[in-house]
Amino acid sequence: MTENQVTINGNPFPVQPDDTILDVARRNSIDIPTLCYLKGATPTGACRICVVEVENARNLLPACSTPAQAGMVIHTESPAVVTSRKMSIELLLASGNHNCAVRGSDETGSFTDFQLGVQAQDHSDRLCPAWGDCTLQDLAYRYQVSGEAFPATEVKYPLESVNPFIVRDFSRCILCGRCVQACNEVQVNNAINFGYRGKNSKIVAAGDRPLKDSDCVFCGECVQACPTGALMEKDARYRWRPWEAEKIRTTCSYCGVGCQLDLHVKDNTVFKVTGAEEIAPNYGSLCVKGRFGYKFINSPERLSSPMIKENGEFRKADWNEALDLVARRFAENRDSHGPDSMGVLTSARIANEDNYLAQKFTRAVLGTNNIDHCARL
Q: Does 224 bind ligand SF4 (CB under 6 A)?
A: no
254 binding ligand SF4? (CB under 6 A):
yes
Chain CA centroid to CA 262, Å? 9
Query: Which residues have C-beta within 8 Å of that of residue 298, sequence separation ≥ 6?
Result: 269, 270
For residue 250, give Cα distances in angstroms to 194, 253, 258, 261, 307: 35, 9, 9, 6, 30
Contacts of 141 (CB under 8 A, 6+ apart): 102
Residues 255-284 binding ligand SF4 (CB under 6 A) are: 255, 257-259, 282
Q: Give the chain's length.
A: 377
Residue 353 CB, nearest approach to ligand FES (Å)? 44
Q: Which residue of the chain is nearest ligand SF4 when measured via CB?
A: 290
List the one residue from 76, 135, 228, 274 that touches ligand SF4 (CB under 6 A).
228
- Which residue lies nearer to ligand SF4 by CB, 30 or 276? 276
Cα 266 to Cα 319: distance, rounded to the nearest angstrom: 29
Applying CB under 6 A, among 20, 34, 181, 187 the residue interacting with ligand FES is: 34
Q: Pick the closer one to another protein by CB: 12 or 281.
A: 281
What residues contact 28, with CB distance under 8 A and at least 6 apart?
Answer: 8, 13
Using the rule CB under 6 A, which residue among 8, 15, 37, 291 binds ligand FES? 37
Q: Which is nearer to ligand FES, 57 or 101 (CB)?
A: 57
25 belongs to the binding site for ligand FES (CB under 6 A):
no
- 38 Cβ contact partners less than 8 Å away, ≥ 6 residues apart: 178, 181, 182, 185, 186, 225
**Contact (Cβ atoms closer than 8 angstroms) between residue 229 and residue 223:** no
**Neighbouring C-beta atoms of residue 51, cutoff 10 Å:** 24
Looking at the Cβ atoms of 13 and 218, the one nearer to ligand SF4 is 218
Binding status of residue 218 toward ligand SF4 by CB under 6 A: yes
* Residue 45 interacts with ligand FES (CB under 6 A): yes or no: yes
130 touching ligand SF4, by CB under 6 A? no
Beta-bridge partners for 264: 247, 272
- The phi and psi torsions of 164 (rounded to 5 degrees) equal -75, -15
Stretch that binds ligand FES, among 13-21, 48-56, 220-228, 239-247 (CB under 6 A): 48-56
Candidates 47-55, 95-103, 111-119, 120-128 — which segment interacts with ligand FES by CB under 6 A? 47-55
- Residue number, 52 or 220, with CB nearest to ligand SF4: 220
Instruction: Give yes or no for residue 52 binding ligand FES (CB under 6 A).
Output: no
Q: In whole angstroms, how close is the CB of 180 to ligand SF4 at the nearest point?
A: 7
Residues 291/219, Cβ–Cβ less than 8 Å: yes
Q: Is residue 47 within the footprint of ligand FES (CB under 6 A)?
A: yes
CB of 47 to ligand FES, least distance (A): 3
DSSP string, 210-226: -GGGSS-----HHHHH-
Burial of 312 by CB count in 10 Å (0-12 exposed, 13-18 middle, 19+ buried)? exposed
Q: Which of 92, 93, 216, 263 binds ligand SF4 (CB under 6 A)?
A: 216
Within 8 A by CB and 6+ apart from 209, the residues are none
Interacting residues toward ligand SF4 by CB under 6 A: 173-179, 182-183, 187, 189, 191-192, 203, 211, 216-222, 225-226, 228, 230-231, 252, 254-255, 257-259, 282, 286-287, 289-290
